Amino acid sequence: MHWSEFGVNFFQENGMSNPILRLDNISKSFGGVRVLEKVSFDVERGSRHALIGPNGAGKTTLFNIISGIHDPEKGKVLLEGKDLKGIPSRKRIKRGLSRSFQNIRLMPHLSVLENVMLGQHSRFQLLDMVKPLNFSAKSTGKAEAIDTLKSFGIELHEGQTVSSLPYGIRKKIEVVRALMSEPRLLLLDEPAAGLNTAETNNLRDLLNEVSNRGITLLLVDHDMPFVNSLCEQVSVMNFGQLIYDGPVSDLKNDEKVLQAYLGKDENSERSNA
């Protein structure tokens, strides 16, 4: 058992909270419009946690605050108990937080291997950042990237340019690249968007494997079957406020969620029963 899994199990067995991420009364406005209002929830270490809600609920803004793109007007983002105020995105990566985006941000003209190696940038020294990537046979970074690709079943594509690969494979490669910074918390912004059923299932299997390696997942997605099959905990937002935070299994029984997110109310539920 990996040490991180032991830690998760210890806290769970003893009924203790062990959040890797804590959001404490996060508020944010743009142009006088309140986008987030006192949002608070924990993401437990080792968990698979979803953040869902209708379009415009504030999910992307919250993700941007967690990753350091925006600063909150009020409230705190605590990563492993440490306040991230004033810490830019690039330095949050070094603290164990990595992110993939809804729109794929791979370099289409580079190979799979080159793209994955770019994910190691946060672990380079300053002088390394101004040198060409070292693709020699003895390169430690190259060997690590190849091993990581192989461990997720992508070795057949390592020499191809990203632009020549199917969309579903590119989504997996972006996740693998995010893992090269050795995160403890991985943020995933709509990872299943644009995927067909088979690709979605393949991505879910990959993310389950990522989770099994002790990495905490926090994802935004609108694909509820995908969320239900992957995640254990879910936080639901509507109009910038948190309206539910708890097990995925209890989501369908929450009246506020049925009204705001699923478009149902208690009376319609009873009439359809």
Structure token pair of residue 251: 């989501």
Give the model's confidence band at 71: pLDDT under 50 very low, under 70 low, under 90 confident, else very high: very high
Read off the pLDDT of residues 51-69 as tens digits, 9 standing for 90 and up.
Answer: 999 888 999 999 999 999 9
- pTM score: 0.83
Read off the pLDDT of residues 171-193 as tens digits, 9 standing for 90 and up.
Answer: 998 999 999 989 999 999 999 99
Structure token pair of residue 7: 């830690």
Closest CA to 251 of 273, 272, 225, 271: 225
Q: What is the pLDDT of residue 267?
A: 47
Give CA–CA dist 182/11, Å, rounded.
Answer: 23
Give CA–CA dist 74/59, Å, rounded.
Answer: 17
The per-residue pLDDT of the chain, averaged, comes to 84
A 10 A CB-CB count for 230 gives 24
Read off the pLDDT of residues 83-134 as tens digits, 9 standing for 90 and up.
Answer: 999 999 889 998 999 998 766 778 888 888 888 888 876 655 544 444 545 5
Structure token pair of residue 233: 């905990």
Read off the pLDDT of residues 186-226 as tens digits, 9 standing for 90 and up.
Answer: 999 999 999 999 999 999 999 999 999 999 999 999 999 99
pLDDT greater than 90 at residue 73: yes
